[in-house]
């Protein structure tokens, strides 16, 4: 108990470093009491945390060495020269001790803001032992709203390997992962719980619970630093309600409610502080073909997710963040050696990118003045950095262009529109202004806005890609608008969780449901993204295979495209694929990937998973050559050419020794 109390009284950076080394083989009992006392006396992270590394290094050199120790020594050698974030952590702790809200930034007397120290870990799988977390060395990085409010040290981001090492059913493996993350995690007496999952990452937050050596208790231990007394939500449920209060959002579905935590975790920088009285709400522009029944569908909300901001506010943000130019649009959160050369050459085979000079990417915004006609966009740069169709630098694009967004899955996800210049829009630079009028394609009104026709986009920070190279645009044929409609069979393959927050609260009222049970039930929604990780990739692969085998416009390909998109947004929309449907698709759709993809994935671990007994995926001869086959062939030829050149550069040659310089050495050898 005394040793645990000593460790708990150390600066948090030192605690983390101790736990990190314990996670790779060092034992707490190996660290003398007097060493812990000396670390405590240092008082700051900047002094104590680096001393932990020195202490562990001394422990290794004072006992017989083994291969495991060599690994430690190599790690220590790298860390001695690494710039660690301990000074910033000390500053953050000091500021939040004085003012719990100072980390939010926008303070009148300082440009400082908190939340920039990253504490991360990764899931470590061991076939011979339990699944554990392996802590990483803390680093400085970007900030988010939750870390600024409560302190960097309150959060841990845990990475999940993309290739789950479960033999057999990966879907079952993901279920095991959910159970794993539902457990409380103890770090030197502090208790962390998982509150959100996204893109192979799970986020943990420190609660007011502590581990007393035998059990978890909901209280603040007296052995913890005074910093623990900084006002924060008392428990996990209060933290959850701080960010998105359940009582105030009873009308939301549970899935939508859970998705809101992504806003508190997204990378952001404090800009300016806005007074609520100075924030006005404007009604959205609705497509004139809406029938007025219920809520208008997203594709008919022509200004969805985008508003207007005063120029002086943009100017203030620019000055505060020392930008070189005032932006037209910002995304805001309101209310809320030889072998080395060879390796690089092979990298170009696997990860090449084809640049299109006559193209650009920018935020899309709805026409604020309503001057653009259907099928028109306005694209102007603040500098002459765009190539026109003649190859000359310009600041504006004019004429027919192609626009698209990621993910580009169905034929209609690329739209042909006309780029025009409107004098009234000349100040709107470095953004793509699109018409708020009913979008038109092939002279047919589509009863929806342009962004919704390109990967189901809207205007809440989405970007769009524009291409105007005549060699591409001239030969483009617009797809039939019917591809904009989801195939009927997609809905029959999905189930949707429609439970509202109000329904959930009614089902889990105290005292009928314990706090522990309530937390577990909430985590079913908060950690839902873990269950979708493999399935999203699977349907994407099936879609790619179907393109190769059947073609881009084939109904089977379109079906898989819409299935992929539905699952991709599943953690937000609440849709999922029942196990029986997934297994049926797997039996009928699953197949070996195309040859071009196998060649571009020279990863032994992935090659080992290819069933070489299955014939390579055939392509319908009527479809003609596949573009990726042709590109892969050309890339491989260029790679072989470069490898031959490298081999010639590194041909082994006999080095003739200089007789005068080598003379003493040869005389010594003769003796």
- For the chain, which residues make up each domain, given as ranges? 94-222+229-243, 286-485, 492-597, 625-670
Say whether 132 sits in a helix, a strand or coil.
Answer: strand
> For residue 292, is pLDDT > 80?
no
Judged by average pLDDT, the poorest of 197-206, 215-224, 511-520, 590-599 is 215-224
CA 363 and chain centroid, separation: 19
**How would you write 162-201 as a 3-class SS string?**
CCCCCCCCHHHHHHHHHHHHHCCEEECCEEEEEEEEECCE
The reported pLDDT for the residue numbered 141 is 92
Which backbone phi and psi does 630 adopt, to 5 degrees?
-65, -45
Condensed to tens digits (0 to 9), the pLDDT of residues 394-423 reads 999 999 999 999 889 999 999 999 999 999
The reported pLDDT for the residue numbered 6 is 84
Show Cβ contacts of residue 114 under 8 Å, excluding neighbours closer than 6 positions. 92, 95, 96, 102, 103, 104, 105, 143, 147, 148, 151, 152
The reported pLDDT for the residue numbered 171 is 52
The reported pLDDT for the residue numbered 345 is 62
The string of DSSP codes covering 26-77 is --GGGS-HHHHHHHHHH-SHHHHHHHHHHHHHHHHHTS---HHHHHHHHHHH
Condensed to tens digits (0 to 9), the pLDDT of residues 63-105 reads 555 555 555 555 554 554 445 799 999 999 999 988 888 999 9
> For residue 230, is pLDDT > 50?
no
Burial call 418-448: b when 16+ CB within 10 Å, e when fewer: ebbebeebeebbbbbbbbbbbbbbeeebbbb
> What percentage of the chain has pLDDT greater than the value 90?
40
> For residue 7, is pLDDT > 90?
no
> For residue 519, is pLDDT > 90?
yes
Structural contact between residues 468 and 398, judged by C-beta atoms closer than 8 angstroms: no
| Gap between the Cα atoms of 548 and 550, Å rounded | 6
- In this structure, the number of other CB atoms found within 10 A of the CB of residue 97 comes to 15
Average pLDDT, whole number, for the chain?
Answer: 83
What is the CB-side half-sphere exposure of residue 3 using CA atoms within 13 A? 11
| Gap between the Cα atoms of 42 and 394, Å rounded | 60
- pTM reported for the whole predicted model: 0.77
| Gap between the Cα atoms of 482 and 401, Å rounded | 22
Angle at 457 between CA 405 and CA 444, to 5 degrees: 90
Condensed to tens digits (0 to 9), the pLDDT of residues 364-396 reads 999 999 999 999 999 999 999 999 999 899 999
Q: Which CATH architecture has domain 286-485?
A: Beta Barrel (2.40)
The reported pLDDT for the residue numbered 246 is 92
> For residue 172, is pLDDT > 60?
no
| Gap between the Cα atoms of 303 and 514, Å rounded | 44
Average pLDDT over residues 332-336: 66
């Amino acid at each position: 108990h005394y040793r645990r109390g000593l460790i708990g009284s150390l600066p948090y950076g030192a605690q983390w470093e101790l736990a990190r080394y314990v996670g790779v083989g060092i034992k707490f009992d190996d660290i003398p009491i007097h060493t812990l006392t000396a670390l405590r006396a240092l008082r700051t992270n900047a002094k104590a945390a680096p001393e932990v590394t020195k202490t562990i290094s001394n422990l290794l050199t004072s006992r017989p060495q083994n291969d495991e120790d060599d690994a430690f020594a190599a790690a220590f050698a790298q860390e001695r020269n690494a710039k660690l974030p301990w000074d910033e952590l000390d500053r953050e702790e000091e500021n939040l001790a004085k003012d719990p809200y100072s980390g939010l930034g926008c303070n009148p007397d300082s440009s400082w803001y908190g939340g920039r120290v990253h504490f991360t870990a990764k899931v470590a799988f061991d076939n011979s032992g339990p699944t554990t977390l392996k802590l990483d060395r803390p680093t400085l990085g970007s900030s988010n709203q939750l870390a600024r409010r409560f302190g960097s040290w309150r959060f841990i981001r845990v990475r999940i390997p993309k290739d789950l090492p479960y033999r057999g059913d990966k879907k079952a493996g993901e279920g095991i992962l959910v159970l794993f993350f539902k457990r409380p995690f103890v770090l030197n007496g502090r208790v962390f719980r998982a509150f959100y999952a996204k893109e192979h990452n799970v986020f943990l937050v420190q609660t007011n619970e502590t581990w007393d050596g035998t059990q978890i208790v909901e209280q603040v231990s007296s052995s913890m630093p005074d910093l623990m007394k900084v006002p924060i939500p008392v428990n996990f449920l209060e933290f959850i309600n701080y960010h998105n209060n359940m009582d105030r959002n009873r009308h939301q579905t549970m899935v939508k409610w859970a998705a809101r935590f992504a806003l508190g975790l997204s990378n952001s920088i404090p800009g300016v502080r806005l007074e609520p009285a100075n924030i006005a709400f404007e009604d959205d522009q609705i497509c004139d073909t809406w029938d007025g029944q219920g809520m208008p569908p997203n594709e008919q909300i022509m200004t969805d997710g985008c508003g207007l901001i005063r120029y002086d506010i943009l100017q203030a943000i620019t000055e505060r963040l020392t930008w070189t130019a005032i932006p037209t649009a910002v995304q805001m959160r309101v209310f809320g050696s030889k072998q080395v050369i060879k390796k690089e050459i092979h990298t170009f085979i696997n990860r090449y990118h084809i640049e299109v000079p006559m193209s650009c990417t920018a935020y899309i915004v709805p026409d604020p003045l309503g001057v653009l006609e259907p099928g028109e966009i306005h694209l102007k740069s603040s500098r002459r950095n765009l190539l026109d169709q003649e190859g000359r630098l310009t600041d504006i694009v004019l004429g027919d262009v192609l626009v698209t967004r990621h993910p580009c899955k169905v034929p209609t996800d690329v739209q042909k529109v006309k780029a025009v210049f409107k004098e009234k829009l000349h100040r709107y630079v470095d953004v793509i202004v699109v018409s708020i009028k009913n979008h038109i394609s092939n002279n047919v009104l589509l009863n929806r806005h342009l962004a919704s026709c390109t990967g189901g986009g809207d205007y809440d920070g989405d970007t769009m890609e524009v291409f105007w190279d005549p060699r591409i645009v001239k030969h483009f044929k617009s797809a039939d608008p019917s591809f904009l409609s989801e195939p009927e069979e997609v809905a029959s393959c999905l189930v949707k969780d429609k439970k509202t927050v109000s329904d959930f609260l009614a089902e889990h009222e105290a005292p009928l449901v314990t706090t522990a049970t309530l937390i577990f039930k909430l985590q079913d929604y908060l950690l839902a993204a873990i269950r979708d990780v493999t399935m999203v990739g699977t349907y994407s692969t099936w879609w790619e295979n179907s393109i190769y085998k059947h073609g881009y416009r084939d109904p089977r390909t379109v079906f898989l495209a819409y299935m992929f998109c539905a699952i991709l947004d599943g953690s937000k929309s609440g849709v999922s694929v029942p196990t029986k449907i997934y297994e049926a698709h797997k039996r009928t759709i699953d197949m070996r990937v195309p040859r071009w993809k196998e060649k571009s994935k020279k990863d032994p671990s992935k090659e080992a998973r290819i069933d070489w007994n299955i014939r390579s995926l055939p392509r319908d001869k009527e479809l003609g050559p596949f573009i990726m086959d042709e590109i892969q062939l050309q890339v491989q030829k260029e790679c072989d050419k470069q490898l031959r050149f490298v081999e010639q550069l590194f041909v082994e040659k006999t080095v003739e020794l200089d007789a005068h310089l080598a003379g003493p050495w040869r005389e010594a050898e003769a003796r």
